[in-house]
Amino acid sequence: MDKRFSSRLIHLGERSGESVSRSKTIPITMTSVFSFDDAESLDQVYEGEAKGYIYTRNGNPVHDALAEIMSGIEEGEAALAYSSGMGAISLSILAQVKAGDHIIAAHVLYGGSFQFIRSELARFDISVSFADPVNEDISPYFRPNTRIVYVETISNPTMETVDLEVLAQVAHAHGAKLIVDNSFATPVICQPLLLGADIVVYSATKYIGGHSDVTAGIVVSDKETIGRIYASGLLFGPTLSPFDGWLLIRSLRTLELRIRQHSQNAQELAAYFETHPAIRAVCYPGLSSSPTHAVAQRIFNNKLYGGMLSIDLAGGEPQAYALLRNLETIKFVPSLAGVSTSTSYPARTSHRSLSDEELAKAHISKGLIRISAGLEDIADIISEFDTALARIY
Ligand SMILES: *Cc1c(COP(=O)(O)O)cnc(C)c1O
C-alpha cells in the first residue's frame, strides 16, 4: 500500500470481497478448524495448490489481517501473532539457535525475557553474555558462535534508549542477528527494521492492545525468518485466540492517537517530577537531562518519547511504598500501557527474580517507581501525584 503511516494504520488488512457489499471491519473468524467440500480440496490446501485455512493453530484470517497491519506499519515483510509477548519472544529466539550457540543480551531487560535468556536457554546449552549496550561497546562479547543480540528499544525500567543503528551494524559485522523488543516504543515512535534490526518483537499486551484486556505477542521480520518462527510456533503452540486478534486490530486503528497522547502526558509529568524535591531522579527519554536523549531524538519519530517514565524517590523503599498507598485513581498494577495512569514497583514486580546484585547492576534502586502515563487530563494526573507526594514529603 502506497500510503503514509497514519493511513496505513487505518486501512491495512481490509478485504475487498467477492460480493457487492462487505463488512466495514475485519470480521472475527472464531473457529478452531475449517471445513472442506471434499478430501481433494483439503489436499490442495495442504499442498499449497489452493488458498484456504485448515486449523487455527496453522493460521486464521484474523491472524493474517493482524500480521498484514503489523508488517505494513513496521515496514517488514511478514509478521506472526501469538498468545503472549513471551510466546513471541521465546519463539523468536528459539527458532534462531541450537545447542552450542551463544547470544548477547542487554542486562536491563523485561524480567521474563531476562529469566528466559538466563535460565531456560542454559538448559539447552545456549550460553549468554549480558552486556550494557547503552553505555559500552559490545564488540568484545562476540564469539564465533554468537547468533543473536537481544535488546529493548527503551530499557525497562530505566528508560534508556539503545542506539539501534549502531548495534545493528556491530551485530551484522559479527554475523549475528539483532532482535529488538519494541513494546515500549511501538512502531509509531520507532521502526527498528528501518534502523537495521532483523527481528522486532512485541508484548502486544501493552500499547498495541492498549486497553489492559488482551494478552498477546507479535513478531515482525523478513519472510525467511518468519517462516522459521512459524514452523517452530506450530509445534510449541502459543496460538492467539481469533477474538483477541480481532481486539488487537481494533486497538491498532487508534494506536497513533493513543501514543501521541500517552507521550505528551508522560513528557509533562516528567517535567513536573524534575522540579519536585522528593524526587532524586526522573528517567524519561524525552527529557534533555536523559543520558540517552540525543539517541532518542535521532532514532524516534515525530518527537514522541512514549508513555513510560520512572522516578527515583530520595526516601527509598519506605517512601516508595507510602507514595503508592497515597494514590487514589492511579492504580498500582504490575503491568503498563492501559488507558489509565498506573504505577509499578520494578524491584518487587517485573524484576523480582533478580538478586540484589543484579538489581544494582540494572540500576533498579529500592526508591524506583515506574509510571505508565494514561490518557486522562494531565492536570488531574499531576494533581494526584502532587497531593500524594505532599503527604510524605
Ligand atoms: C510485558 C512485557 C513482555 C512480556 O509480554 P507478555 O505479553 O506479558 O508475555 C516483554 N517485554 C516487555 C518490554 C514487556 O513490557
pLDDT digit string, tens, across residues 313-345: 999 999 999 999 999 999 999 889 999 999 999
CB of 156 shorter than 6 A to ligand 1? yes
Apex CA 79: angle with CA 76 and CA 82, to 5°?
A: 150
pLDDT tens digits for 367-384?
A: 999 999 999 999 999 999
Bridge pairing between strands 217-221 and 279-283: unpaired
Contacts 24+ apart (CB under 8 A), 189-192: 189/259, 189/263, 189/300, 189/301, 189/302, 189/304, 189/305, 189/306, 190/153, 190/164, 190/299, 190/300, 190/301, 191/73, 191/74, 191/75, 191/301, 192/153, 192/164
Contacts 24+ apart (CB under 8 A), 37-44: none
What are the residue boundaries of the structural domains of the chain, listed by start? Answer: 39-252, 255-392
CB of 306 shorter than 6 A to ligand 1? no
CB of 85 shorter than 6 A to ligand 1? yes
pTM recorded for the entire structure: 0.95
If you measure from the C-alpha of residue 240 to the centroid of ligand 1, how many angstroms do you get, rounded to a whole number? 15
Query: CA torsion angle for 133, 138, 141, 144 (degrees, to 10)?
Result: 120
* pLDDT of amino acid 298: 97
CB of 92 shorter than 6 A to ligand 1? no
- CATH for the 255-392 domain, from 3.40.50.2000, 3.50.50.60, 3.20.20.70, 3.90.1150.10: 3.90.1150.10
Q: What percentage of the chain has pLDDT greater than the value 70?
A: 99
CB of 350 shorter than 6 A to ligand 1? no
Locate the ligand 1 atom nearest the alpha carbon of residue 215 and give its number: 7
Determine the CATH number of domain 39-252: 3.40.640.10
If you measure from the C-alpha of residue 12 to the centroid of ligand 1, how many angstroms do you get, rounded to a whole number? 25
If you measure from the C-alpha of residue 86 to the centroid of ligand 1, how many angstroms do you get, rounded to a whole number? 6
Tell the burial category of 158 from Cβ atoms under 10 Å away from its Cβ (0-12, 13-18, 19+): buried
* pLDDT of amino acid 17: 66
CB of 113 shorter than 6 A to ligand 1? yes
CB of 206 shorter than 6 A to ligand 1? yes
Instruction: Identify the bridge partners of residue 151 per DSSP, sorted by sequence position.
Output: 180
* pLDDT of amino acid 197: 98
pLDDT tens digits for 131-152?
A: 999 999 999 999 999 999 999 9
If you measure from the C-alpha of residue 384 to the centroid of ligand 1, how many angstroms do you get, rounded to a whole number? 27
Q: Is the pLDDT of residue 218 over 90?
A: yes
